[in-house]
Amino acid sequence: GSVGAAVPAAAAAAGPTGEAASYVEGSGSTAGGSCSSAQPAQPHAVGCAEAQGACCSAAAPGSAAPVSGPPGFRAAAARAARIPADILEDPELNAAIALDLPATHDFEVHRTVWRIRRCGARHVGLQMPEGLQHWATKLADIIRRFAPTVESTTILGDVTFGACCIDDLAARALGVDFLVHYGHSCIVPTDQTTVATLYVHVEVQVDVEHLVETVRHNFSPQKKLAMMGSVQFKTGIAEAAELLKHEFCSGEGSAAVPQVKPLGLGETLGCTSPLVGDVDAVIFVCDGRFHLESAMIQNPHVRDGFFRYDPGALTLTREGFAHGQMHGIRKAAIEAARGAGMVGLILGTLGRQGSSGVLEEVERLLERRGVPHLTLLLSEISPERLALFRDVQAWVQVACPRLSLDWGEAYAAPLLTPYEAHVAFGDHAYRDVYPMDYYSNRGGPWSNYGAHNGHGGSLGKKFSHLRHRRGSPIEYEESEVLVR
């Protein structure tokens, strides 16, 4: 999608200004096990969304006392307190990090080395999106050098759009006994992966002072603001909100960081976004539009709109989204699919993109209606591949909802999301606000946690190997634990 005009940081305006961008079709992209010495797994919403310690693993005994400051400060301090001093203060390790890795990116090397040593891992797999692969070999060298038990490292080079693409299944097939997934949060819980897994968010430094001053210069204290962004900038968002909250809480204003669990505070995915309350504007911290568009789709009611702060370019731009155009396109696809004589169901096999539980929910809808259907497993859902199935008149893809929203018109037959399938073949009416709740623990029956038997759950035999190893649905707590 295109971006609007930049809002200068020094423009002391009472309210936001700038031109809105427009919705452009095709602006986005598609996208267990534990080692014997690891601590017991914690509910994802508690152990990962806030504590950010071992990411879904309990803190080691002797954790430090709570530290004052915003959640980002407290989480970082709690993390460091658990890592032994001989790792944190290792001069050779610190020199290697300073020499080989950018100071602006936190690859959490100390925590990674600590976890690998605790597990005694011998074969470590590294998976990361394309933008981080430049440092993959450096990370592999550091791990082999400072984790004595490691005999080999494997870099998984397949495309990685998000944490849903975590490829623990391929890692296990390669003999990996410890997988490090970089650049995304823990949306596939570590008690669901087939090998011991560590998520490293790779936080990127944010000039918090510039962000705060930019907000102050462009919004009056009477404005109600919300701050959101992608996981790489979560600490910067937390720090900025902490600095702005008193100023913007004067009168009727407020600076809030919304949350949709099990994601962290302010965190947004391309398919899952927090629902903000009665606010005038949203400040979204990111370096692109993909995650931002999810928030705009979920929150069309924001009065003054969305403003994207790019921490790299140090710019603030007003962003727009043509909601009417998107809804018109999706409604037409749903109506066309309703008359299909044969429906194809696609289970995405790119990492863990596909949820067998979501797929079976759609399958039940079609069976109740007596609609003939087939199931196809694909890692890449291309128009050319689907065009080969000439008898299929409509498709439902259980992989990435944004594939249908952003690229749906490129396909010869309607390509529905699970939500749209529930509208087309079930009892759900089309919503005025398109739900971006695919990984929300309060999502609809088309979502990972709303589907029958929970996240990825399957009662059918054909996908029984993807079920939770203990055969029971996963429960997620609503309580918040900032520091353990």
Range of the domain at 246: 6-27+206-321
Whether residue 244 is found in the same domain as residue 388: no
CA–CA gap between residue 472 and residue 379 (Å, rounded): 27
- The 196-200 sheet, strands edge to edge: 152-156, 123-127, 178-182, 196-200
pLDDT the model gives residue 50 = 34
Return the H-helix or E-strand segment holding 44: helix 44-47
pLDDT by residue (tens digit) across 238-253?
Answer: 999 999 987 764 445 5
Residue 478 lies in a domain: no
138 vs 19: which has the higher pLDDT: 138
Residue 32 lies in a domain: no
3-state secondary structure of 238: helix
Whether residue 76 is found in the same domain as residue 170: yes
Q: Is residue 103 predicted with pLDDT exceeding 60?
A: yes
- In this prediction, what percent of the chain has a pLDDT beyond 70? 75
CA–CA gap between residue 430 and residue 435 (Å, rounded): 10
Whether residue 15 is found in the same domain as residue 112: no
Beta strand 306-310 pairing with 315-319 = antiparallel
Residue 444 lies in a domain: yes
Whether residue 89 is found in the same domain as residue 195: yes
365 vs 56: which has the higher pLDDT: 365
What six digits make up the tokens of 136?
Answer: 């993959």
pLDDT by residue (tens digit) across 402-453?
Answer: 999 999 999 999 999 999 999 999 999 999 999 999 999 889 999 998 887 6
Given 156, 178, 204, the domain boundary residue is: 204
Residue 467 lies in a domain: no
Supply the CATH number for residue 416's domain: 3.40.50.11860
Residue 89 lies in a domain: yes
Q: Are 357 and 454 in contact (CB under 8 A)?
A: yes
Beta strand 105-106 pairing with 123-127 = unpaired
Whether residue 199 is found in the same domain as residue 261: no
Supply the CATH number for residue 261's domain: 3.40.50.11850
Output the average pLDDT for the chain. 81
Whether residue 198 is found in the same domain as residue 216: no
Q: Is residue 37 predicted with pLDDT exceeding 90?
A: no
465 vs 290: which has the higher pLDDT: 290
Q: Are 342 and 393 in contact (CB under 8 A)?
A: yes
Cis peptide bond prior to 414, omega within 30° of 0: no
Domain count, the chain: 3
Whether residue 190 is found in the same domain as residue 72: yes
pLDDT the model gives residue 186 = 87
Sign of CA dihedral 239, 200, 449, 427: positive
pLDDT the model gives residue 453 = 63
Whether residue 95 is found in the same domain as residue 197: yes
pLDDT the model gives residue 231 = 94
Chain centre distance of CA 389: 32
SS3 percent helix, strand, coil of the chain, rounded to 5, is 35, 15, 50
Whether residue 176 is found in the same domain as residue 142: yes
- The 281-285 sheet, strands edge to edge: 6-7, 315-319, 306-310, 281-285, 224-229, 254-256
User: What average pLDDT score do residues 294-321 get?
Assistant: 96
pLDDT the model gives residue 115 = 96
Structure letter (DSSP) for residue 315: E
Residue 281 lies in a domain: yes
Whether residue 344 is found in the same domain as residue 438: yes
The pTM (predicted TM-score) of the whole model is 0.79
Residue 482 lies in a domain: no
pLDDT the model gives residue 162 = 86
200-224 burial, b at 16+ Cβ within 10 Å, e below that, comes to bbbbbebebeebbebbbebbebebb
Residue 333 lies in a domain: yes
Q: Are 161 and 31 in contact (CB under 8 A)?
A: yes
Given 172, 204, 236, the domain boundary residue is: 204
Given 321, 354, 389, the domain boundary residue is: 321
Whether residue 51 is found in the same domain as residue 200: yes
Whether residue 144 is found in the same domain as residue 199: yes
pLDDT by residue (tens digit) across 142-197?
Answer: 999 999 999 999 999 988 888 899 999 999 999 999 999 999 988 888 888 899 99
pLDDT by residue (tens digit) across 132-154?
Answer: 999 999 999 999 999 999 999 99
Q: Which of 246, 238, 257, 283 is nearest to 70 (CA)?
A: 238
Strand partners, 182: 200
- In a 13 Å sphere around the CA of 245, the CA atoms on its Cβ side amount to 11
